[in-house]
Amino acid sequence: MCLGVPMQVLEIKDDMVTAEIDGVSREASLMMLGEEVAVGDYVIVHAGFAISRVDPHEAQETLRLMRELFTPEDMA
């Protein structure tokens, strides 16, 4: 199953971010994102790309729902 997951940006270097959620870090390209992001922002990460910036409250609600529906293995 492929999911876009809200992740918090920890670091930005050139056109890449390091983002984290629940202790899991991933690198993602900013190539598909048409807006500025800053450290601390939440982005939807899908298939190695940050595809949209998301409001922190919306990100937390989405994550809460995902945690109810999926096992940790589903979200890895």
Tell me how far apart the alpha carbons of residues 75 and 66 are, in angstroms, rounded to a whole number.
8
Identify the CATH number of the domain defined by range 5-75.
2.30.30.140
**Token code pair at residue 48:** 């190695």
Q: What is the model's pLDDT at position 8?
A: 97
Place of tokens 């940006």: 9
pLDDT (tens digit per residue) in 5-57: 999 999 999 999 999 998 899 999 999 998 999 999 999 999 999 999 999 99
Q: Decide: residue 19, CB within 10 A, 0-12 exposed, 13-18 middle, 19+ buried.
A: buried
Tell me how far apart the alpha carbons of residues 21 and 5 are, in angstroms, rounded to a whole number.
9
| Beta strands per DSSP E along 1-76 | 5-13, 16-21, 24-29, 42-46, 49-54
